[in-house]
């Protein structure tokens, strides 16, 4: 499947005077897309495999390029504004056709010649566009553990709440304002430690050396729940997230982490119908 906004390897199916036509080698029934003559590598022939980036031209047709764009789907980069118009801004991103940043995807004033942190997405018309509202592109589905040291990109700074970070460029994270001791800027990459994982998967971050309190809290919460129920709960690590949330008001991720710690400590064992204190 040919993917808009991503680099991929396609096969040359036809050679013409104005360029090459390329197809997905795993789906040759699909229409081929054009690689313009100006970008065709020397000596390229039919059946060759070429790595290209797929986008749409000014006439809304799928085309590909051998040029290296500054940004791809799933990435966040600072791009320079080439032009501000009545319908939005256009950003330089390394290709012939500038990247559109709609007004509704802008945060604050956008000035020609300045650079802003943006993400790349496919809009409702199936065209590539930029957005400064990066949070909507981030996920809460991860395997990151409390205490993990990692990096991220700042995408918003709120004077009262804190610094919002794209953790590893993929996940939602927040450094609370009480942690902030100096000025930070949108687009900067910083290092931090994960201090807490919220029930919805969002990450709380710390710039210090803390970070294990939430694991301890979850472990104690599970142990207390067992103790209050005569040492038995009718759930185990195979339970649904809905059942775990109903019984314990915990996410499945937090529950499995707490259960694993208690089992490792020899305090709890699982049964076919739940778990119990040893």
* 222-245 tens-digit pLDDT: 988 999 899 999 998 888 988 888
Phi, psi of 135 (to 5 degrees): -55, -35
The pLDDT tens digits of the residues spanning 24-55 come to 988 887 789 999 999 999 889 999 999 999 99
The pLDDT tens digits of the residues spanning 50-85 come to 999 999 988 888 999 999 999 999 888 999 999 999
Question: How many Å apart are CA 146 and CA 161, to the nearest integer?
Answer: 21
**CATH value at residue 234:** 1.10.10.10
Domain boundary among 65, 88, 111: 65
Residue with tokens 């994270």: 173
Task: Report if residue 202 sits inside a domain.
Answer: yes
Task: Report if residue 2 sits inside a domain.
Answer: no
Give per-residue burial for 204-226: e unless 16+ CB within 10 Å, then b: bbbbeeebeebbeebbeebbebb
Task: Report if residue 1 sits inside a domain.
Answer: no
Whether residues 218 and 270 fall in one domain = yes
Task: Report if residue 181 sits inside a domain.
Answer: yes
Would you state the pLDDT for residue 103? 94
Considering the entire predicted model, what is its pTM?
0.66
Nearest residue to 186 (alpha-carbon basis) of 71, 76, 93, 70: 76
Domain boundary among 168, 188, 206: 206
Task: Report if residue 27 sits inside a domain.
Answer: yes
Task: Report if residue 102 sits inside a domain.
Answer: yes
Question: How many Å apart are CA 132 and CA 94, to the nearest integer?
Answer: 19
Q: Tell me how far CA of residue 18 lies from CA of 24, 50, 51, 115, in angstroms.
A: 20, 17, 19, 35
19 Cβ contact partners less than 8 Å away, ≥ 6 residues apart: 34, 35, 36, 37, 39, 40
Domain boundary among 135, 161, 184: 135
**CATH value at residue 188:** 2.40.50.140
Whether residues 232 and 271 fall in one domain = yes
Residue 145, pLDDT > 60, answer: yes
Residue 160, pLDDT > 60, answer: yes
Whether residues 200 and 236 fall in one domain = no
The pLDDT tens digits of the residues spanning 82-106 come to 999 999 999 999 998 899 999 999 9
Task: Report if residue 70 sits inside a domain.
Answer: no
Would you state the pLDDT for residue 209? 53
Whether residues 160 and 125 fall in one domain = no
Whether residues 195 and 246 fall in one domain = no
Q: Are 132 and 121 in contact (CB under 8 A)?
A: no
Question: How many Å apart are CA 18 and CA 192, to the nearest integer?
Answer: 51
Residue range(s) defining the domain that contains residue 126: 76-135
Whether residues 95 and 117 fall in one domain = yes
Task: Report if residue 142 sits inside a domain.
Answer: no
Q: What is the CA radius of gyration of the chain?
A: 25
Question: For the chain, how many structural domains are there in total?
Answer: 4
Q: Are 127 and 60 in contact (CB under 8 A)?
A: yes
Inter-helix orientation angle 252-264/213-228, to 10° = 80
Whether residues 58 and 96 fall in one domain = no
Inter-helix orientation angle 213-228/241-248, to 10° = 80
DSSP 8-state code for residue 166: E
Residue 211, pLDDT > 50, answer: no
Whether residues 193 and 238 fall in one domain = no
What is the residue-averaged pLDDT of the chain? Answer: 89
């Amino acid at each position: 499947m040919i993917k808009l906004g991503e680099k991929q390897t396609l096969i040359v199916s036809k050679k013409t005077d104005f360029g090459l036509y390329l197809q997905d080698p795993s789906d040759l029934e699909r229409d081929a897309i054009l690689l313009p003559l100006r970008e065709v590598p020397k000596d390229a022939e039919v059946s060759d495999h070429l790595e290209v980036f797929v986008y749409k031209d000014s006439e809304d047709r799928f085309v590909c390029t051998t040029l290296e764009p500054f940004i791809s789907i799933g990435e966040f980069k600072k791009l320079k504004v080439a032009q501000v118009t009545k319908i939005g801004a256009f950003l330089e991103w390394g290709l012939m056709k500038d990247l559109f940043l709609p007004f509704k995807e802008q945060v604050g004033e956008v000035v020609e010649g300045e650079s802003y942190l943006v993400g790349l997405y496919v809009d409702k018309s199936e065209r590539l566009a930029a957005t400064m509202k990066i949070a909507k592109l981030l996920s809460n589905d991860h395997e990151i553990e409390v205490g993990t040291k990692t990096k991220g990109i700042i995408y918003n700074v709120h004077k009262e709440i804190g610094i919002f970070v794209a953790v590893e460029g993929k996940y939602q994270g927040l450094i609370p304002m009480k942690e902030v001791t100096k000025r930070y800027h949108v687009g900067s990459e910083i290092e931090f430690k994960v201090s807490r994982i919220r029930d919805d998967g969002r990450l709380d971050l710390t710039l210090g050396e803390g970070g294990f309190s939430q694991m301890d809290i979850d472990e104690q919460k599970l142990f207390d729940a067992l103790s209050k129920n005569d040492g038995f709960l009718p759930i185990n690590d195979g339970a649904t997230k809905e059942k775990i949330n109903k019984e314990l008001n915990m996410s499945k991720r937090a529950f499995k982490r707490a259960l694993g710690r208690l089992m490792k400590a020899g305090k709890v064992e699982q049964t076919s119908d739940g778990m119990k204190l040893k």
